A and B are shown apart, each in its own frame.
Chain A
Amino acid sequence: MRRQVLLQRLRPSEKLQARCKGNDYNKQRKVPSDNKNYDKRMKKSHIFLLIVIAIAVGVVISTAGDASSYVNFKTAREMKDRGDDNMVHVVGELKKDDQGRIVGITPGENRLSFSFIMVDDHQQEQLVVYKKPMPTDFTKSEKVVVVGNYHNETFVADKILLKCPSKYEETQIQAN
């Protein structure tokens, strides 16, 4: 009882506050209908959450779909034969002779392109053509990743990524 009285007495100032805060006051009075709204809103926020999750899942799926993959030359060949023209990544090394010298690099006429022989993880040798200038440190690289696909018997690289030795080995001091 006492509480109710107190509340009633407080009403005028409360009204003032309510005006300041917008429609808080009205909300308090319409408890039942507000509850309904509240339920609706809960549903609304659930729907919102579902949409966000759906988009996030979509993002993951599209990434997985557009992602390329690391394969060896044999698989890349099989993919091409199947009619799959997607670009793949192949990791390997440059072909070397017994003395450890790199062999099989043929520069193009204007050094705007070149071809080389790459050995993949399964020791399969493959001629790779790159229609852009030779990347710096190409011959120094430990490992080479080519991104591209087969055009007939040659593998045409669209991009070449290099794994270079760590920095403490990359340079030799020149006495001068």
Chain B
Amino acid sequence: MVHSFVGNLGHLLIIVAFVSSILAAATYFFASSDNPLKANEWRLFARMSFFVHAVAVFATVYCLFHIISNYYYEYHYPWKVSDRNLPFIYKISSLWQDQEGSFLLWIFWDMVLGLVIIFTNKYWEAPVMTIFALVQAFLTSMILGVVIPGINLKIGSDPFILLRDVFYSDEIFRLNPNFVPADGTGLNPLLQNYWMAIHPPTLFLGFATTLVPFAYCIAGLWKKRYTEWIRPALPWSLFSAVTLGTGILMGGYWAYETLNFEGFWNWDPVENASLVPWLTLVASYHTMIAYRNSTTALKTAVILIVVTFILVLYSTFLTRSGVLGDASVHSFTDLGLSGQLLIYLLAFMVLSVFLIIIRWKDIPAGGKEVSTYSREFWIFMGATTLCLMAFQVIVATSIPVFNEIIEWFGGIGNIAAPSDPASFYSSKQLWFAIFLAIFSGTGQFFWWKKMEKEKLKAALTYPFVITLVLAGLVIVVAKVKDFSYILLLTASIYSAIANGSILIKLLRSNINLAGGSIAHIGIAMMLIGILFSTGYSKVVSINKSGLKIFADVEEEFNLENIVLFLNQSQKMEPYDLTYKGRRLDVKGVPGYVDFNDLGPTEDRTKAIALDDISVNGKVYANKGDTVKIHPENIYFQVDYVDKRGKNFSLFPRMQINESMGNVSSPDIKRYLTKDLYTHLNYAPYLTPEDQVEWSDPETHTVKLGQRFFINDFVTILDKVERVENVAELGLNESDLAVRASISIFSNEGKYTIEPLYIIRERMLGRVPETLQELGIQIIFSKIDPQTNEFTFEVRTTQRDFIVLKAVQKPGINVLWTGTMVMILGFIIAIRRRYREFIKMRNKGTEL
């Protein structure tokens, strides 16, 4: 049955949200009038419009969730992003899995922020909300899904479109228009991860909050209140920076844990597009803080806030218009929204540039000029460095856009992105980071007190000496040799020490002012963490056998991977490694369960326990029980024993992922000073096409105690005896069973295999016995009582093995700890700036 009501309702609600946002924009515009009577009249109407908008947006989200959680797969969206087996939390995260939903998430956050503004700020409400409602109108138009009759122009792509309207040409819908698929195609298993459940909402909240300072800034220019907008906007700028920054880092942490590129940042265009606005955003609030004492800071703040917001729109355009196309793995497929996105981008660009130009001369240039011994100078240097960092990233990321522009003018755009992005970006960003660390360290000395040349020298002496001693120590101990690394390390330590010395002073006086120095310590730690974990990441899985692993791969692969055969110990300095076999994740059972203890069922998400499943003495499932599994995730248990005899197991994962190919995820052993990062680069028998292939049988007819060779291994038939208790084998009393015991001597030691000769109901049963460690299968096929000879059919195969890479990442914990410290610093700073705003607002001295 097609549940058309909820979809129609959802679509209607989107239209209501769109119309009400336009109405709110218009009415708030009139409510911004300087005539208080007129303003009051309009304000009520405007608020009503925005409340209607808020309710409509909320209800739209609910409708979308409704069709996902009730498995209405007659709709395209839930069919595409979810399935019946999805846990509740991922049903929520499948809401924003695709383009339409992520726009909806963005709209939702903007709506919430709008309500907060309405309830916290009376004076700025009308002009700020005019901008808000205008942005909402543009955003809701992206999911409008309305075709303008006559010109056949489709505006937006709505999430309530029916599957049959998408695949209208498919045979199935021609035969039966009411066909509903039994299940959805599911959420990409890679994204079924707790970080992926919170990363997008955080990131989108970060994007959404850039609107607040922008709206304040534009409102300030518009209402000619050139300085008053800064105080209410400042806590929002800080909030935006910490949210966006946290969102970006969560994505990085997810990538580090889940993907196998051995890092947290890949310089992918989509990642870059989120980093660039963050850099300018951070630069913008630094200049906002400095505006009182500098002629240029106010104007710079205005420009940077506008630039940040435009960059957010630009990055949306980059990732969603299809312009990146083949340049990024992240980017969404083109929904035909590129025109709309471009209009959105250009509209706000033209509007803000126009407003800045006509107001430019009126923006007050009070205060004094910047001197080298003022904090403004250092803030400027820092902000400039941040902007240059952003510039370097955005220029290279925009290469596909340049091509489009060249083509648009009739030229041939044939520039391609740098072929090695990691070294291209990091080699330049490293130098900017050095300056950033120096500026953030020195600037703090001017933060709380004016400084003269002499005083500065005195204040800097101790931090300087401590820095040099500490940096020297680290350089020697960690053997840092690269010149640029030495500089970055020293600069970062300097920043941490300098900010630390300020922090100690502030701890004694006023902790509320310590946000800046704490955040800067966090940044310095992050730089140190990035430097070591990236610059001194070391491959420990060095192939010392002198043998190539595969003939057809790059040399590096053969040198930096080791092969582990099942149950055979191998040395990897400073560990002994043993691959113990494949494991599956069974629902409700802690840890992992042996692959061989689980048998398949018709439903691929369920398995039969072939043995009791117990962990630490507690039985979770009995033999024959059906258990729930995650069939796409296969874990490979690798046991590590270190030099001191301490052992631990890692479970790197291979994910059989239809949409992404097989994805290898690492397992990480975390030490205090380093991470041991282990992932697989190859494992056989993962796909249906790639099954265990046995050789043609080879027949051996031998006598008791005779030596023969299987796969070049010396083999002896030790004994042959009748099995007395045949019932144990599930046979009847009248059946016959004979067990042979064969010893095989491989390089690693002796293995025993015991094939059975069975006559069941007078029929010969051929029961293959497998020795997985050696990849040998034996069938006991004949007994000749006359000659006392026994015949065995032997088949061999490739032994189960894995190709593993292990990388040591020193200092990565410094990065994660630094992140926490930075977030803490931001929170303290936001609290301080928000209190200032409330105090001034309640006093009535400022707006």
Contacts and interface: CB of A to CB of B under 8 A. Distances in A.
A166 B170 CA distance: 16
A55 B396 contact: no
Contacts of A67: 396, 399, 415-418
Interface stretch (B23-31, B118-126, B143-151, B326-334): B326-334
Most chain A CB neighbours (cut-off 10 Å) among B182, B333, B335, B450 = B333
A8 interface: no
Contacts of A47: none
A112 interface: yes
A110 interface: yes
A131 B552 CA distance: 7
A141 to B, nearest CB: 9
Contact of B416 (A56, A68, A174): A68
B661 A135 contact: yes
B37 interface: no
A68 B326 contact: no
Interface in B362-412: 368-371, 384, 388, 391-392, 395-396, 399
Given A175-B179, A176-B181, A68 B167 contact: no
A45 B418 contact: no
A167 B416 contact: no
B334 A175 contact: no
A60 interface: yes
A159 interface: yes
A152 interface: no
B326 A143 contact: yes
B415 A69 contact: yes
Interface string B546-569: 000011111001000000000000
B170 A164 contact: no
A173 B163 contact: yes
Given A56-B391, A63-B396, A112 B553 contact: yes
Contacts of A56: 388, 391
B415 A70 contact: yes
Contact of A133 (B368, B396, B662): B662
Contacts of B465: none
A109 B551 contact: yes
A55 B388 contact: yes
A167 B333 contact: yes
Given A41-B371, A166-B333, A89 B416 contact: yes
B559 to A, nearest CB: 14
B147 to A, nearest CB: 15
Contact of B167 (A64, A89, A173): A173
Contacts of B552: 108-110, 112-113, 131
A172 interface: yes
Interface residues of A, number: 55
A27 B369 CA distance: 12
Nearest to B660: A136
A24 B554 CA distance: 68
Contacts of B384: 52
B334 A63 contact: no
A161 interface: yes
B428 to A, nearest CB: 7
* Secondary structure dominating the interface of B: loop
Nearest to B167: A173
A107 B661 CA distance: 15
Contacts of A143: 326
A44 to B, nearest CB: 8
Contacts of A4: none
A158 interface: yes
A153 interface: no
Nearest to A142: B326
Contact of A159 (B396, B419, B424, B557): B419
B512 to A, nearest CB: 22
Interface string A36-59: 001001000100000010011001
Contact of A52 (B166, B333, B388, B551): B388
A145 B413 CA distance: 15
Nearest to B166: A168
A163 interface: yes
Contacts of A86: 419
Contacts of A33: none
A86 B370 CA distance: 46
B184 to A, nearest CB: 12
A161 B334 CA distance: 16
Give the size range of B's interface with the partner: 35 or more
Most chain A CB neighbours (cut-off 10 Å) among B181, B325, B413, B414 = B414
Nearest to A88: B416
* Secondary structure dominating the interface of A: mixed
Given A62-B428, A163-B326, A68 B419 contact: yes
Given A52-B388, A59-B395, A173-B181, A147 B419 contact: yes
Interface in A74-94: 86-89
A111 interface: yes
Interface in A14-43: 22, 24, 27, 38, 41
A168 B369 CA distance: 59
B682 interface: yes
A59 B391 contact: yes
A103 interface: no
Contacts of B333: 164, 166-167, 170
A66 to B, nearest CB: 4
B270 to A, nearest CB: 14
Given A136-B660, A145-B326, A173 B172 contact: yes
B414 A69 contact: yes
B70 interface: no
Contacts of B179: 173, 175
Given A60-B395, A136-B660, A131 B417 contact: no
Interface string B800-834: 00000000000000000000000000000000000
Contacts of A52: 384, 388
Contacts of A112: 550, 552-553, 557, 682
Contacts of B450: 22
A175 B182 CA distance: 9
Contacts of A168: 166-167
Most chain A CB neighbours (cut-off 10 Å) among B326, B333, B660 = B326
Contact of B392 (A59, A71, A110, A113): A59
Interface in B322-375: 325-327, 333-335, 368-371
Contacts of B748: none
B821 to A, nearest CB: 30
B388 A166 contact: no
Given A113-B553, A167-B333, A175-B179, A133 B416 contact: no
A136 B659 contact: yes
A168 B173 CA distance: 15
Contacts of A105: none
A68 B417 contact: yes
Contacts of A164: 333
25 contacts: A22-B450, A27-B368, A41-B369, A41-B370, A45-B370, A52-B388, A56-B388, A56-B391, A63-B392, A63-B399, A68-B416, A70-B415, A89-B416, A108-B550, A110-B684, A112-B557, A113-B552, A134-B661, A135-B661, A167-B335, A172-B170, A173-B172, A173-B173, A175-B172, A176-B181
Given A24-B368, A109-B550, A112-B682, 20 more contacts: A55-B388, A59-B388, A59-B391, A59-B428, A66-B396, A67-B416, A68-B416, A68-B418, A71-B414, A108-B553, A112-B553, A135-B661, A161-B327, A163-B326, A167-B335, A170-B333, A171-B185, A175-B179, A176-B181, A176-B183
Interface of B: 163, 166-167, 170, 172-173, 179, 181-183, 185, 325-327, 333-335, 368-371, 384, 388, 391-392, 395-396, 399, 413-419, 424, 428, 450, 550-554, 557, 657-662, 682, 684, 690
9 closest Cβ pairs, A-B complex:
A136-B661, A87-B419, A68-B416, A89-B416, A70-B414, A108-B552, A161-B326, A113-B552, A66-B418
